[in-house]
Structure 1
Amino acid sequence: MLYSTFTKLNLIILKVVHIVEALEGGVYTYFRDLSNFFGDDGISKNIETTIVYSSNRKGISSEKVNSEFSNGVNLIHLNMVREISPFEDLKSIFKLIKELKKINPDVIHLHSSKAGVLGRIAYFLLFKKKKVFYTPHGYAFLRTDISKSSRKLYSIIEKSFQRLFGGTIVACGDTEFEIAKKIGPSKLVRNGVDIPPIREYFLPHQNSKLTVGILGRITAARNPKLFNDIALKFPDFNFIWIGDGELSHLITSENIKITGWIMDKNIVFETLNSIDIYLQTSLWEGLPIALLEAMVLEKPVIATNIIGNKDIVLHNKTGFLFDNIDELENYFEILKENKTRADFGKKALKRCEDLFDTNQNFKQLFALYQESFSAEANKMQK
């Protein structure tokens, strides 16, 4: 049991509430794993975990969440919208206040930009001092699909809210941590994946053609146009996009297969295991979960040289980082060799085991909650 890991820590029972609006893709996987860790019998005896979430994102429903998240955590569905909407946002804030008053948590952990704004306003209006943590999962002001003025606005909001409401930023990746330290008090707890269940899908295989794939929603963040351009440049390779999305019309190259939405995770991991190289074409990231899942399945990675990707991929060891499509010819040539791919893949798995094991990283989060709560309790006693 996980409880045995913590028996020496003189634990204090506390209540933690997580608030998230952006429950999709990697964030969904993060929360599913978080629920399994903190919902474990041993852990839940010492920490009561509640997840307040919105199911407005594509492919997410309360039924899905209830069926895949641990019974050991409390789940509260609360409507939040992604875009800025004063009327809807105000309704969400009052609902959050109502739920927080009922729970009376010791710790509030906010995830992604929208929950970071709504949650901090709700916290302020509670008029009760709580420990507040905030994980951006990729700062909104780093997005490249929005105007420069919008990015500036998001940057002002992030810095202003940190200054006004305080709290500790919990960065999910090393570069995000470096940025966060310039905004406010910060800690690093990396994203990770649950390695043993994913390893069950690893099987060596041999494709007749080199097969290059990506897993995720087809959105601006994943840059489907670049993925398509790469497929056009390398017509002798097979390409596969595991997923679907609103920008699927940008995928036109005949050597690309789009699987569509796959609801069965067994099929998702079997398909991911069938590729030879994982290609991450993102324009921006927090710390991409799908990329980690591919590395656990010993896939060498070719990824855009951006925040998130460069925190995971070791250039010329576990894969390659690129700034320009012209660099790829050399990288694909190197990775054509089975032996080279296998060598890169083993190093990729080892890197995940060392740094991106979700159970080890959630232990850090657990300790962070305990440390901050104990410090606050000691301060109140003095």
Structure 2
Amino acid sequence: MSKIKVLHISEPFVAGVYKYIKDICHFFEGNAKFEQHVIYSPSREGTSLEKIEGDFKNTAFLYPIAMQRSISPLKDFSALVQIHKTIKSIRPDVIHLHSSKAGIIGRIAGRMYNKAEIFYTPNGYAFVRQDISPLKQKSFFFIEKYANVLLGGTTLACGDTEYDLAKKIGPSQLIRNGIVPDSFGDLPKVSQKVQTIGSVGRLSNQKNPQLFNKVAKCFPSIQFVWVGDGELRHELTSKNIIITGWKPNQEVIQMVKDFDVFIQTSLWEGLPFTILEAMALRKPIIATDVIGNKDAVEHGYNGFLCSSLDDFKNAVLQLIQNKSLRNKMETNSRERVVELFDQNKNFKELEMVYSSVK
């Protein structure tokens, strides 16, 4: 029996989308039933060709094709032509699209080929972004809606709230993002007091470092740590904040182990791996009450979901003042990530989806 050829297409090939595709390809490594291919754009800032080649060695065939995030008719048409040509040469059985730009261009190219089942994982719909106008949000929603009507395909939502949105657009299925909970070495001991509160990510509009800074200013005796860097580094002005810059993954994990509380102030998300990893390391989570975060954090169980600065202040105070609550949330975080976000269990569901095409 011939292998099932799976082709992934993504415009962003950094951060969470990169990790998601990399993890899928590693999960299927050595599985004689499947063959993985990846079309990606090397255009995004932060894309490292050397890292990509190392991470995907022996797991996937790679095809760099320039795409850009914003709408550009000429460049989008050029990308479409190249993607269609590459699809015809690969002859995939499955085309799995990742994020909005690939969700449109890839679907058009896939329908032109018309010999593969098409699946689409938004990893955070563009119309939930909070850095664009309401008019653009509505426009992006209608683009998603009518792309599905005209071009078809099945959405594989990465989280429960994304799944709720996907069902309003067209055929959909829930395949949660996941991590390997036991891949982080020894678990840290339960915290005795709150001394360090930290976050991980790019200092960008999406991650809302302004709010992180405001929370830090409210608790000058606590050390706040931002693991990462970015164009909004200057927004973190509070004297009790340390910005570490970008670090290798193993160093990041060790830093998160040293946090007493994990905080996340994003304006929007898909389903953030950073929160899942912090949960696996038994951290109580304080996060904004937005799509993605709501999938990982059950308010009052393994953390708090917040809609304002006052909510964040109250959540931090509760964890400072109530050690038994904090320790219970630490345990609950670990249990929740093992139950719902175990990569091996969730990707077996993905394997069943891919297998259904033959």
**What TM bracket, shorter-length normalisation?**
over 0.9
TM-aligned CA deviation for residue 341 of structure 1: 2.6
Find the partner of 1:293 among 277, 281, 294: 277
TM-aligned CA deviation for residue 68 of structure 1: 1.9
CA distance in 2, matches of 1:207, 1:31: 38
| Secondary structure, aligned partner of 2:37 | strand
Which residue does 2:231 correspond to in 1? Answer: 246
TM-aligned CA deviation for residue 223 of structure 1: 0.8
Which residue does 1:203 correspond to in 2? Answer: 188
| Secondary structure, aligned partner of 1:220 | coil
The yes-or-no answer on 1:79 pairing with 2:59 is no
Which residue does 1:62 correspond to in 2? Answer: 49
Find the partner of 2:133 among 121, 140, 147: 147
Superposed, which structure 2 residues align to 1:206-355 within 5 Å?
210-262=195-247, 264-336=248-320, 337-355=322-340
Which residue does 2:7 correspond to in 1? Answer: 17
Contact 1:38–1:73 (CA<8 Å) still a contact in 2? no
TM-aligned CA deviation for residue 201 of structure 1: 5.3
Contact 1:201–1:273 (CA<8 Å) still a contact in 2? no
TM-aligned CA deviation for residue 195 of structure 1: 1.8
Find the partner of 2:349 among 356, 360, 364: 364
- Residue type of the alignment partner of 2:5: K
CA distance in 1, matches of 2:87, 2:186: 40
CA distance in 1, matches of 2:81, 2:145: 23
Which residue does 1:173 correspond to in 2? Answer: 159
- After TM superposition, the structure 1 stretch with the greater mean CA deviation from structure 2, 316-325 or 52-61, is 52-61
Q: Which digits, 9 at most, give the CA deviation of each residue in 1:47-74, with x for residues without a partner? A: 1111111222232212111112351322
CA distance in 2, matches of 1:195, 1:95: 39
Q: Which digits, 9 at most, give the CA deviation of each residue in 1:255-310, with x for residues without a partner? A: 11111111x21111111111111111111111111110111111100011111111
CA distance in 2, matches of 1:33, 1:357: 12
- Residue type of the alignment partner of 2:285: V
Q: Which digits, 9 at most, give the CA deviation of each residue in 1:90-134, with x for residues without a partner? A: 1111111111011100110100001101101211222x3321001
CA distance in 1, matches of 2:55, 2:101: 24
| TM-score computed with the length of structure 2 as normaliser | 0.95
| Secondary structure, aligned partner of 1:49 | strand
Which residue does 2:80 correspond to in 1? Answer: 93
CA distance in 2, matches of 1:208, 1:335: 9
* Number of equivalent positions: 357
- Residue type of the alignment partner of 1:180: A
- After TM superposition, the structure 1 stretch with the greater mean CA deviation from structure 2, 297-306 or 75-84, is 75-84
TM-aligned CA deviation for residue 329 of structure 1: 3.3
CA distance in 1, matches of 2:44, 2:23: 19
- Aligned-residue RMSD, C-alpha: 1.7
Find the partner of 1:124 among 97, 111, 115: 111
CA distance in 2, matches of 1:254, 1:209: 18
TM-aligned CA deviation for residue 206 of structure 1: 6.1
Find the partner of 2:97 among 103, 110, 119: 110
Contact 2:192–2:323 (CA<8 Å) still a contact in 1? no
User: Structure 1 324/98 Cα, relative in aligned 2: closer, same or farther at 3 Å?
Assistant: same
- After TM superposition, the structure 1 stretch with the greater mean CA deviation from structure 2, 146-155 or 332-341, is 332-341
Contact 2:179–2:277 (CA<8 Å) still a contact in 1? yes
| Secondary structure, aligned partner of 1:222 | coil
Contact 1:18–1:50 (CA<8 Å) still a contact in 2? yes
TM-aligned CA deviation for residue 365 of structure 1: 0.5
- Residue type of the alignment partner of 1:20: S
More helix by proportion, 1 or 2?
1
Which residue does 2:144 correspond to in 1? Answer: 158
Structure 1 residue ranges without an equivalent (≥5): 1-10, 375-382
CA distance in 2, matches of 1:207, 1:251: 27
CA distance in 1, matches of 2:8, 2:218: 44
The yes-or-no answer on 1:185 pairing with 2:184 is no
Q: Which digits, 9 at most, give the CA deviation of each residue in 1:168-199, with x for residues without a partner? A: 0111111111111110000000011122222x
CA distance in 1, matches of 2:313, 2:266: 19
The yes-or-no answer on 1:138 pairing with 2:124 is yes
- Residue type of the alignment partner of 1:295: M
CA distance in 1, matches of 2:340, 2:312: 27
Q: Percent identity?
A: 45
Contact 1:305–1:323 (CA<8 Å) still a contact in 2? yes
